[in-house]
Structure 1
Amino acid sequence: MHDELLDLLLGLDGVRQPLRYHPEEDALYHSLQVFDLARRESDDAVLWAAALFHDVGKAIDGRTHDEVGADLLEGLLAPRAVWLVRHHLDLLREPRRTRRKYRGTRELADLERLRRWDLGGRRIGIRVLSAEEAVDLLVHSAIDDDERNVFTR
């Protein structure tokens, strides 16, 4: 599983993003920044996983990367993390509908945090972990508690 996740993440290396929205350009660098923000603000390893892998679908298709990424992660990450990857653009695309639909739920709180970290992970020239270090840290922080287990196997 470790190697599968690392391969998915490394697929983002060199994937360029529009400068207008991503001055940091590289999708891997962006994802590692988002992961770092999640680690600083939360002890929830499932949120860390969603932050780290939220854009893995960009290695295949930028336009539908949320759906593609979730499909790639199905069976590797916990259902909650996969759901967050699949829906991480909902607050961008349909903020009112999303807030109304998930009002008062953990899903909305998680989406709002992930959205904030996604927007914050657009800096140039900051130090981030390597992809290997990030996946290792995620694997070693996984908790056996069913509610917060990061992995499905």
Structure 2
Amino acid sequence: MHLELLDLLLALDRVPQDPRWHPEGDALFHSLQVFDLARRETADRGLWAAALLHDVGKAFASADHAEEGADVLAELVCPRVVWLVRHHLHLLRAPAATKRRLRRTRALADLTRLRRWDLGGRSPAATVLRPEAAVEVLLDGADWTLLSIGGEPAPAHDLRKEPLA
């Protein structure tokens, strides 16, 4: 798992982002900032993983990066992390409908935190871990059964299959 996750992260190096929304620069620098924000706020390694990996799909497709990233991660990490990556833009695109559907669930709390960190990881002057160190920190002491494919289940809601209007 270590090398596969590292390869996915390194593929984000120099992947450009729209400077209007991402003044910090490339997708790798942004992802490392989001990971750092998550680590400061929670000990939940599933959320750390979602924060670090939420934009891995940008190496393949910018417009559909959440779907692309989740599809790639489905072979590597637990369903909960895949779900968070797949749905991390729903609070941006359809906030009212997302909040209504996920009302009073852990999934909404997790998405809300991930969204806040995603918005916060945009500093051009931030100091971040190297990608290799970030993956080491994520996996060091982690309960592999929670982060691996057969680990923590995904929330029951698939927001892609439910109309958001």
Same fold by TM-score greater than 0.5: yes
Q: Spell out the pairing of 1:4-153 with structure 2 (5 A cutoff).
A: 4-143=4-143, 149-152=146-149
Count of equivalent residues: 150
**What's the CA shift for 1:142?**
1.2
Deviations 1:95-114 (Å, cap 9, x if unpaired)?
01000000000000000000
**What's the CA shift for 1:151?**
1.9
Deviations 1:42-75 (Å, cap 9, x if unpaired)?
0000000000000000001000000000001002
> Quick one: distance in 2 between partners of 1:26 and 1:141?
29
Unaligned runs of 5+ in 1: none
Paired letter, 1:53: L
> Quick one: distance in 2 between partners of 1:38 and 1:3?
22
> Quick one: distance in 2 between partners of 1:66 and 1:47?
16
> Quick one: distance in 2 between partners of 1:150 and 1:95?
27
Runs of 4+ in 1 over 3 A off after TM superposition: none
**Identity level (%):** 61
**What's the CA shift for 1:129?**
0.1
> Quick one: distance in 2 between partners of 1:21 and 1:152?
32
TM-score by length of 1: 0.95
TM-score by length of 2: 0.88
CA root-mean-square deviation? 1.0
Paired letter, 1:111: L
**Secondary structure of residue in 2 paired with 1:40:** helix
